[in-house]
Amino acid sequence: MNGAESLVRTLLANGVDTCFANPGTSEMHFVAALDRVPGIRCVLGLQENVVTGMADGYYRVLRRPAATLLHCGPGLSNGLANLHNARRAESGIVNIVGDHATAHRPFDSPLTADVTALAATVSASVCTPRSTQQLGQDTALAVATARKHPGQITTLILPADISWSEGGIESAGVAIARPAPLDPHSIEVARRMLTSGKRCLLLVGNSAAALDGIRLSHAIAERTGADVMGSSLVAALPRGRGVPALPRVPYPVDVAVERLAAYEAVILINCPPPVGFFGYPGKPSLLCHPHASLHTLSRADQDGIEALRHLAEALGVDKNTAWTSGEQALPRELALPQGEPTPEKLDMALAALLPEDAIIVDESITFSNGLTTTGAVAHPYDHLIITGGAIGGGMPVATGAAVASDRDRRVVNLQADGSAAYTLQALWTQAREKLPCTTILLNNRRYNILLGEYRNVGAVPGPTAMSMLDLGNPDIGWADLARSLGVEAVRVATMEACCEALAASFASDRPYLIELMI
C-alpha cells in the first residue's frame, strides 16, 4: 500500500467520505488512489475558493467534516478567503495540500511556497508527515481535530514522495475530544444576573443556536423577563413555522448600538461580545452599552446547549416548557407579490413558495430584510449566512450544502451580483453534480454595500470612486453565463415573473438561476 492509499483508507475509516478537490501534479497519486479504494465521493471545483466554500457548506448541514484537495501553496492561497469564512463559522474541514517531493523542495522551483505559514492563518493544526508510515496516523489525528467541538480546520501537507512511496498504514479509531467541561460557577452567576431585576440579554452563539438551544433560551427568557438574540456569527440557523425567532445582532453599527443600549447585562452563550465589522470615526467597536455587565455562560469549546439546560434547571424552568416555548403556527396562505422587486416582496415570495426542509444560503447583502416573513411562516428550513465577511461564499456554500443533503433538499442561494463574480465557477459544479440549487441572482449592477460604507467612514466619493463601484459597464449577463455553465437560467424584472421562475425551479431536481433585475 502506498501513502496515498493509506490516506484514502484512513479518511474512510475515520468517517470522511467526501472530498472537494482541485488537484494538480503533486496530488495525482491521491487521485489515482480514489479509483483503487472505493468509497469517497470526489467533487470537482474549478477554483480553490469554490472548493473550500463547498467544504464549509457541507459541514454546516451534516456537522461532520469533508476533505479538500488543494494544489501546493498557490492553490491553498486561492482558497483562503472561504477558509476564513469557514473558520468563523466553526466548520470542521480537513485540508489536504499537495506539495513538492521532499528532495525537490531545496531547489526552490516555481510553485514552492511556505505552505505551513499560509495554512496556519486559518488552521487549528498543521502537519507535514515525516514518512509514508506516519501518514495514516497523522491523517487520523487531523480528522479527530477537525471533528473536535465546535468544529475546526486542520491542514495536512502531503509531499509527493510521501504519497507515492510504499509502506502506508491505515489508521482508525482516534478518539474525538469531548467539549470542555462547564463551570458551575458560571451557571450560578448567570442565574443571579437573570434574577437581579436588571434588563438582561441572552446572546446565543453559533453551535448553541440549534433548535434545542433556541427553545431553551426562549424558555429562560420567558421565566426571567430577559430578551434573546443571536450572534452575528451564527452559521446555520433553524427558522420557519414552529421555531422561535432568533434575531441576529444587526450589521449597521448605529442600529446595533441602539438595539443593545437598553441591556444592563449580557450573557454570552458560545460567542464573544458583539463588535462592529469595522471601526468607524467616532463610533464604538464594542456594541453593548459601555457600562453593561458581560458574562460568559459557555465558551465556544464548551457545550452551550448543555449550559442552557443547567441554567434552565437552576431557574426552575419546566423541561416541557423548554421544548415548546415560542412555537406559533401562523397562516400558510400568502398572496404572491406583484410589481417591481423589493426585499420585502422577495421575502413574501419565498414565504409562500419555499418547499419543505429547504436550505437558504444568504449572501444577499443590501437586498435583504432578514427574511422576517419567511422565517415566521414558511415550512421549517435552515438559514446559512456568510460568517466571516469575505464575499464570494454564497454560491460555493450552497453547492456544498446540496452535496451534503444528497439531493434531498432544495437549496436556495440569495446571491448579490458583486459577490457572485468571485466564485461563479460553483455553478459549473452544480450542473456537473446535478444539484437541486436555485440561485436568485440579485442584479443591481454595483457594489451597493460600499455606498453605505462611504457614508459610515465619512468619505466623500467622486467620479473615480463611484466608477469603482459600477458593475454595469459592461453589463454582466448572469443568465447567459449560467446557461454557458450548464445551468438553466432566466432573467426577470417583475415579481410575477420571479414567482413563476421560483415555482419552476422548485419543481425541478436540477440547478436553476433566476437573474432578478433590481
Confidence of residue 331 (pLDDT cuts 50, 70, 90): low
**Mean pLDDT score across all residues of the chain:** 94
pLDDT at 181: 97
Confidence of residue 491 (pLDDT cuts 50, 70, 90): very high
pLDDT at 407: 85
Q: Give the tens place of pLDDT for each residue, 388-418.
A: 999 999 999 999 999 999 989 999 999 999 9
- As a whole number of angstroms, the longest Cα–Cα distance in the chain is 69
pLDDT at 175: 87
**Do residues 204 and 44 touch, judged by C-beta distance below 8 A?**
no
Average pLDDT value for residue range 365-393: 94
What beta strand segments (E) does 72-208 contain? 93-99, 125-127, 153-159, 200-204
In whole angstroms, how far apart are CA 34 and each of 4, 6, 31, 430, 432? 9, 11, 5, 21, 19
> What is the residue type of 288?
C
Q: Which of 68, 71, 70 is nearest to 110 (CA)?
A: 71
- Residue 332 pLDDT > 70: no
Helix axes 48-62 and 426-433, enclosed angle (nearest 10): 60
Average pLDDT value for residue range 366-382: 94
**Do residues 232 and 249 touch, judged by C-beta distance below 8 A?**
yes
**Do residues 307 and 313 touch, judged by C-beta distance below 8 A?**
no
Dist CA 261 CA 290 (whole Å): 9
3-state SS, 427-467, equals: HHHHHHHCCCEEEEEEECCECHHHHHHHHHHCCCCCHHHHH
pLDDT at 470: 79
Q: End-to-end distance of the chain based on CA atoms, in angstroms?
A: 57
Alpha-helix runs per DSSP H in 356-494 = 372-377, 394-404, 417-420, 426-433, 448-457, 463-467, 478-484
CA 155 to chain centre: 19
**Do residues 304 and 205 touch, judged by C-beta distance below 8 A?**
yes
Q: Give the tens place of pLDDT for each residue, 411-437.
A: 999 999 999 999 999 999 999 999 999
Dist CA 244 CA 308 (whole Å): 16
- Residue 323 pLDDT > 60: no
**Rounded (10°) CA dihedral 365, 56, 374, 277:** -40
Identify any residues that bridge with 268 across adjacent strands, giving them in sequence order: 203, 296
User: Taking the model in full, what pTM does it have?
Assistant: 0.95
Q: Give the tens place of pLDDT for each residue, 63-77.
A: 999 999 999 999 999
Bigger pLDDT: 223 or 445?
223
pLDDT at 460: 74
- Residue 322 pLDDT > 60: no
Dist CA 145 CA 124 (whole Å): 8
| Percent share of the chain, pLDDT over 70 | 95
Q: Which residues contact 292 (CB under 8 A, 6 or more apart)?
A: 260, 263, 264, 265, 266
Least confident of 58-62, 365-369, 420-424, 455-459: 455-459
pLDDT at 101: 94
Dist CA 153 CA 142 (whole Å): 9
Query: What are the backbone angles phi and psi of residue 168, rounded to the nearest 5°?
Result: -65, 150
pLDDT at 327: 45
- Residue 324 pLDDT > 70: no
- Residue 285 pLDDT > 60: yes
DSSP character at residue 209: -
**Do residues 214 and 222 touch, judged by C-beta distance below 8 A?**
no
Q: Give the tens place of pLDDT for each residue, 120-142.
A: 999 999 999 999 999 999 999 99
Dist CA 196 CA 208 (whole Å): 24
- Residue 290 pLDDT > 50: yes
CA 356 to chain centre: 21
**Do residues 95 and 83 touch, judged by C-beta distance below 8 A?**
yes
Dist CA 202 CA 217 (whole Å): 7
- Residue 367 pLDDT > 70: yes
- Residue 320 pLDDT > 90: no
Dist CA 226 CA 197 (whole Å): 10
Least confident of 222-226, 237-241, 473-477: 473-477
Helix axes 304-314 and 184-194, enclosed angle (nearest 10): 60
Q: What cell numbers appear for 411 in the block? A: 437549496
Confidence of residue 473 (pLDDT cuts 50, 70, 90): confident
How many CA atoms lie less than 13 Å away from 369 in the CB half-sphere?
16
Pairing of strands 66-71, 41-44: unpaired
Q: What cell numbers appear for 501 in the block? A: 421562475
Q: Which residues contact 175 (CB under 8 A, 6 or more apart)?
A: 144
Average pLDDT value for residue range 299-328: 82
Q: Which residues contact 193 (CB under 8 A, 6 or more apart)?
A: 200, 265, 267, 293, 295
Write down all domains in the chain, each with its CATH number in brackets: 3-164 (3.40.50.970), 184-324 (3.40.50.1220), 343-517 (3.40.50.970)
